[in-house]
Amino acid sequence: MTMTQTSATAMVARVSTIENMERGIEYDRAAFNTWKYRHYFEFDSLKSDKNISVRCTLCIGRKLLSTSKNSTSNLSKHLARCHKNVKLTENPQDPLTDVTAVATTSTSTGQTSDGPTPAKQVKLDVRATGLSAAELKKLVAAYIVEDMLPISTVDSESFRRIVEKIPTKSGVELPQRKSFVGYLEREYDKMNSNLKATLEEAEFVSTTADIWTVNNKSFMGVTVHWINSTLQHNKAALACKRIRGSHTYDVIGAEIEEIHSSYGLQGKVIATVTDNASNFAKAFRVCQPCHLESESENEEGDDEEPTFTDVIEALSAASGDAQFSLPPHYRCASHTINLISTSDVDKHLNSCADTKAVYRSSIAKCSAL
């Protein structure tokens, strides 16, 4: 080879290297190189002055894709279409400059950047999201309590198979029924203590009470409502107790007073709302706290002759009454309106011969539907 040919070859190599470096610098300034999801793709080659080839590291077999150097819309559509279930994370590191590094290295090694760059292992941000034992028990307890399911649900084979599919940390297992009962009792005590501490800060509260029967078993439910220091309405369930025997006024009064006392609500309850049942009405009428008579009653009494009462008889009669007091009573307005729209309207329509036949016929047709 002559000196002229050697010089020409060296000149061509130098020009090729400079072109590769310029193309690398141009790529380094491209939109793809500064893209936030750049780390999910590997640079493959420069196809032209405007396009580059990259490989998706999320695809099996690292699919080869073509995109513009000045736009990443092609790659964004690929991620949205093929990897929509992957939680993408932005690259916290500085953008990679594969081509620039290759072009710079080629000046010392005499190699060009036309060939593919070495594959790099991309680290995906996949963090362990397994539940701890406390988190798993809390979720299962909420499911059982909120849906009012039997505690034996945790021993169900099908239920345990479902729970096994939940990602958990190493060694975490769902407890058996006996240990789960103890967990529920501890959580109840903790919740009860927190509720009592919250109610201690409330100056005034109101409560509601109701009794219902399911499968020949009666229950009393009591709720409490209050407004906190930020003027937000709060509510909580105080009790859902089994009521045995007849629902007499004294039984109802004793249960309500016991529930109020257990949460330290004496003197705080400004009203209790119930339905229009006669036993509730009598309980609050009989168990109202004793107040001084009004001035008008006192004035009327001044003109009357004094009467004498047998103290022994009065004490004997009082011993049979409840030894407690209940807060002021309010009847539920919604229940009152419901009674008016059903019972009272029904009585009125049936009281007139002209409307009775039409009303009963209409009701019968509606019931048949």
Predicted local confidence at residue 290, as pLDDT:
52
Predicted local confidence at residue 367, as pLDDT:
84
Residue 105 or 54, more confident = 54
pLDDT bin (cut points 50, 70, 90) of residue 278 is: very high
| Low-confidence winner among 85-94, 194-203, 330-339 (lowest mean pLDDT) | 85-94
171/72 Cα distance (integer angstroms): 44
Percent of all residues in the chain with a pLDDT value above 90, rounded to a whole number: 32
Over residues 207-229, mean pLDDT: 94
Predicted local confidence at residue 10, as pLDDT:
53
Predicted local confidence at residue 282, as pLDDT:
92
Predicted local confidence at residue 300, as pLDDT:
45
Radius of gyration (Cα) for the chain, nearest Å? 41
How confident is the model over 11-48, as pLDDT tens digits?
Answer: 555 545 545 545 554 545 567 777 788 888 888 887 77
The letter for the amino acid at 88 is: L
Predicted local confidence at residue 271, as pLDDT:
94
Predicted local confidence at residue 258, as pLDDT:
94
Predicted local confidence at residue 211, as pLDDT:
95
Predicted local confidence at residue 99, as pLDDT:
43
Predicted local confidence at residue 201, as pLDDT:
92
**Which of 245, 246, 257, 268 has the alpha carbon at shortest distance from 209?**
257
Percent of all residues in the chain with a pLDDT value above 70, rounded to a whole number: 72
106: tokens are 């080629």
Predicted local confidence at residue 240, as pLDDT:
93
Q: State yes or no: pLDDT of 111 exceeds 80.
A: no
Mean of all residue pLDDT scores within the chain: 77
Q: For the whole model, what pTM was predicted?
A: 0.52
Contacts of 56 (CB under 8 A, 6+ apart): 40, 41, 62, 63, 65, 75, 78, 82
How confident is the model over 53-63, as pLDDT tens digits?
Answer: 888 988 887 88
Predicted local confidence at residue 236, as pLDDT:
95
Predicted local confidence at residue 122, as pLDDT:
54
